[in-house]
Amino acid sequence: MSDTATRPLPVGHYTYDQVDHDFLRARVEQFRDQVARRISGELSEDEFKPLRLMNGLYHQLHAYMLRVAVPYGTMDARQVRMLAHIARTYDRDYGHFTTRQNIQFNWIRLEDTPEILEQLASVEMHAIQTSGNCIRNVTSDEFAGAAADELVDPRVHAEILRQWSTLHPEFTFLPRKFKIAISGSPHDRVAARFHDIGVVAKPGPDGAVRFEVFVGGGMGRTPIVGVRIHDHLPEEDLLAYLEAILRVYNAYGRRDNIYKARIKILVQALGLDAFREKVEAEFAAMDRARYRLTPETVAAIRARFGTPDLIAPADAPAKLAADRAANPHFDRWARTNTHPHRAPGFICVAVSVKPAGGIPGDATSHQIDALADIAERFSFDELRVTHMQNIVFGHVRQDELLALWHALGEAGLATPNLGLIGDIIACPGLDYCALANARSIPIAQKISARFADPTLQEQIGRIHVNISGCINACGHHHAGHIGILGVDKKGEEFFQITLGGSAEDDAAIGQIIGPALPEDATVDAVARLIETYLTLRQEGERFLDTYRRLGQAPFKDSVYATA
Amino acid sequence: MPLLESGVLAADPWRPAAEDEPIGAGDVIVPLARLDEGLARSDPGRLGVLLPPEAEPSALRAALPGLSLIAVTFPIFRDGRAFTQARTLREHLGFTGEIRATGKPLPDQYEFLRRCGVTTVEVPEGTDPAPWAREHARFDVAYQPSILNETREGFALRRIPG
């Protein structure tokens, strides 16, 4: 293996060596060739489509959209600055962080894409398999390697899955897209049960890593909570077992109807037992030595991850306590936007990319550059994109939190609403997407503006509001405590409300409460749902808890009862 | 139709069995429905079979000793079942003869085809072989084991595709 890197390895993600760079360059050249063949007419649009999709290039309502992969959501400052550069140079000066921990650019010209991919490749980034009927970018826990409750750092295995799935010869033309998430914490922050495959790493009895494997979850038109297909998969069998699952899917998944083509439909059609039997038969027949994930392989990939030197001054917690006591605004933000770190004197920071009245997940090139600067200054040069479309700084010294908060404030990124009602997930909707029935962004902005008061937000407490502009559910409305789905009623945009969904350990699919409403009436309905909750809640209950205790009736009445 | 092997055009000694006619002599590819008829043939020529995408490769298990070629099919290039069929034929059934891709595969799928065990590709008349040759030589490294006995690149999961 050759290695030209002379600087220390970046913290938090795999570092390319020369072979990886050469591979990516060859991939960029391949795409340049494909674009040239398309422009010359040698490739039809139908033939070009899956090729551009496999490089993250969509054709949307108004322009091409390029979705750039952020493996397990983690980037270093150099990579983040490249994204800002792309936003400035090739787009309209902003980018959009997605629920798959990626970033997408909405106003891209086809002829610029080879050059953009070449620039991304220079910082070890790409758009490979961010769309198309293949294994998509592998997502992971935004607090990986930092969270106090973590049992196994999932990023090394996320990287192994990224490499294994990259241009996989057998699984690049599947019946439909295929999403894998991996976590190493007992608290599910990756929505493992809403993925085609969800993997939860845990230490086995012998200390070696084992995996719990969930299969057949997903949102979309047919929301299904995934089922556990394996409880204690040994590390060495991780790739073999996933190959077995994918082979069964590739051979038997439906190809006659794209709405019935996801693995969840196959698992439902066969039943878990019959599906597992097929997977086990394939697994038993495989040449397992060939697919074995050896400890040496794991160690080799792990060795290309930089690790942070987590040393904080002994008085860091005391300094933070004093800073919080002295500034109520900072204190509020610290209360909502941080997460416990495993190391003494450190803390994880979650930055809201959801300002009151703003567009969820959108950041300007100036803000993206500011995030890079802050990562460099305060968090070992590393940041993570979250599946909530926010940003996490994994390793921040507690005595430096106040300075970080000031820096965020200067960039307009200090909104104290993480996990609160302003932290809305919304898909791009009819403003961008050719599939949408309704605009998701304006209603998200109205709800966010309606509840802008941070005191009110904190009083309402933890709640997930998810908005999708159509039944394909990119805003994960099924998993929202309050879900909002855009529908088309005779050419008018209406919104259907669901309640009681969750993407976490208590995964559940939200239930529709009644007829769809126009946009402003929907915003009013959300306000009434919240009032009802505030009136009826018991001590310590989240919105979801009160809903589960009382059922739909009082909430439904509050929305539909005529005055 | 023209045939590609190792990235270049190659002569094709095979012919498909004509419909409604006896299979006849020489190297003939028969449809799956006529496999028994082909196996019962007394001609010294070689026998191949066309495996449709929905068929189980294991259906050929008993016939394998009598088969020199198995053709898999891409009704459209997006239908990737043939990748799994080819890999199954090599890995589980130990088939060592020619696996031929037919239908509508794209040059951009060439490496995938070969790494799943496909040896030849049938392309439409008038196909420019240059993109196929380019894709044949495109990548120096792959990131996962395949059923080919590829040389390890030396690091982690990486292989050098032949």
A172 and A297 part of one domain: yes
At how many degrees (to 10) do helices A238-252 and A272-285 cross? 120
CATH number at residue B66: 3.20.20.70
pLDDT above 70 for A3:
no
CA-wise closest residue to A188 among A160, A241, A228: A228
A397 and A442 part of one domain: no
Paired tokens of A368? 């993206």
CA-wise closest residue to A237 among A287, A162, A311: A287
A227-276: pLDDT as tens digits:
999 999 999 999 999 999 999 999 999 999 999 999 999 999 999 999 99
> What is the domain count for chain B?
1
A242 and A194 part of one domain: yes
A520 and A434 part of one domain: yes
A433 and A343 part of one domain: no
CA dihedral (A449, A453, A457, A459) in degrees, to 10, reads -150
Model ipTM value: 0.97
Q: Report yes or no: B150 at the A interface, CB cutoff 8 Å.
A: no
Alpha carbons A489 and B119: distance in angstroms, whole number:
54
A545 sits in which H/E element: helix A543-550
Q: Give bridge partners of residue A497 from the DSSP assignment.
A: A484
A37-96: pLDDT as tens digits:
899 998 888 889 888 988 899 988 888 999 999 999 999 999 999 999 999 999 999 999
Q: Report yes or no: B73 at the A interface, CB cutoff 8 Å.
A: no
Which residue's structure tokens are 């109807």? Answer: A257
Which residue's structure tokens are 């959501």? Answer: A73
pLDDT for residue A84: 98
pLDDT band (50, 70, 90) for residue A481: very high
| A171 falls within a domain | yes
pLDDT above 60 for A117:
yes
pLDDT for residue A43: 86
* Domain endpoint, select from A122, A147, A176: A122
E strand intervals along A81-235: 94-97, 103-108, 139-140, 180-183, 197-203, 209-215, 227-234
Residue numbers in B near A164 (CB within 8 A): 143-144, 157
CATH number at residue A107: 3.90.480.20
Alpha carbons A233 and A250: distance in angstroms, whole number:
22
A429 and A530 part of one domain: yes
B11 conformational bin, left if phi > 0, alpha if psi -120 to 50, beta if neither: beta
pLDDT band (50, 70, 90) for residue A181: very high
Full pLDDT tens readout for chain B, 162 residues: 899 999 999 999 999 999 989 999 999 999 999 999 999 999 999 999 999 999 999 999 999 999 999 999 999 999 999 999 999 999 999 999 999 999 999 999 999 999 999 999 999 999 999 999 999 999 999 999 999 989 999 899 999 987
Residue numbers in A near B109 (CB within 8 A): 172-173
Residue numbers in A near B158 (CB within 8 A): 19, 163
* Domain endpoint, select from A72, A97, A122: A122
pLDDT for residue A206: 85
DSSP state, residue A438? S
Alpha carbons A457 and A498: distance in angstroms, whole number:
21
Q: Report yes or no: B24 at the A interface, CB cutoff 8 Å.
A: no
pLDDT band (50, 70, 90) for residue A521: very high
Alpha carbons A352 and A339: distance in angstroms, whole number:
13
> What is the domain count for chain A?
4
Percent with pLDDT over 70 in chain A: 98
What single letter denotes the amino acid at residue A55? N
A168 and A290 part of one domain: yes
Alpha carbons B1 and B123: distance in angstroms, whole number:
6
DSSP state, residue A138? P
| A128 falls within a domain | no
> CA-CA distances (angstroms) from residue A318 to A146, A395, A400?
20, 18, 12
A326 and A287 part of one domain: no
pLDDT for residue A506: 87
pLDDT above 80 for A562:
no
Alpha carbons B31 and B23: distance in angstroms, whole number:
10
| A359 falls within a domain | yes
Q: Report yes or no: B132 at the A interface, CB cutoff 8 Å.
A: no
pLDDT above 90 for A561:
no
3-state helix/strand/coil string of A51-113: HHHCCCEEECCCCEEEEECCHHHEEEHHHHHHHHHHHHHHCCCEEEECCCCCEEEEEECHHHH
Q: Among all residues of chain B, which has the CA nearest to that of A284? A: B92
Q: Give residue B78's domain range.
A: 3-160
A301-353: pLDDT as tens digits:
999 999 999 999 999 999 999 999 999 999 999 999 999 999 999 999 999 99
pLDDT for residue A61: 81
Query: Is the CB of A37 less than 8 angstroms away from the CB of B131?
Result: yes
CB-neighbour burial class of residue A268 (10 A; exposed 0-12, middle 13-18, buried 19+): middle
Q: CB within 8 A of B157, min separation 6: which ones?
A: A160, A163, A164, A239, A297, B143, B144, B145
Q: Give residue A54's domain range.
A: 18-122
A232 and A370 part of one domain: no
- The mean pLDDT of A477-506, rounded to a whole number, is 94
* Residue A15 burial (CB count, 10 A): 17
pLDDT for residue A2: 43
Q: Among all residues of chain A, which has the CA nearest to that of B112? A: A169
| A310 falls within a domain | no
DSSP string covering B128-153: -SHHHHHHHTS-S-BSS--SS-PEE-
Residue numbers in B near A17 (CB within 8 A): 155
CA-wise closest residue to A13 among A159, A149, A137, A210: A159
* Domain endpoint, select from A380, A410, A440: A410
Chain A residues with CB under 8 Å of a chain B CB are 1, 17, 19, 22-23, 26-27, 29-30, 33-34, 37, 47, 50-51, 133, 160, 163-174, 239, 247, 250-251, 255, 285-287, 290-291, 297, 300-301
CATH number at residue A181: 3.30.413.10
pLDDT for residue B97: 98
Paired tokens of A282? 């394939």
Alpha carbons A72 and A165: distance in angstroms, whole number:
14
Q: CB within 8 A of B36, min separation 6: which ones?
A: none
Closest in B84, B115, B157 to A164, CB measured: B157
Average pLDDT, chain A: 94
A5: Cα within 13 Å, side-chain hemisphere: 19
pLDDT band (50, 70, 90) for residue A4: very low
Q: Among all residues of chain B, which has the CA nearest to that of A289? A: B145
A222 and A371 part of one domain: no
pLDDT above 60 for A563:
no
pLDDT for residue A1: 44
Q: How close does chain B come to A47, measured CA to CA in Å?
A: 8
| A129 falls within a domain | no
CB-neighbour burial class of residue B92 (10 A; exposed 0-12, middle 13-18, buried 19+): middle
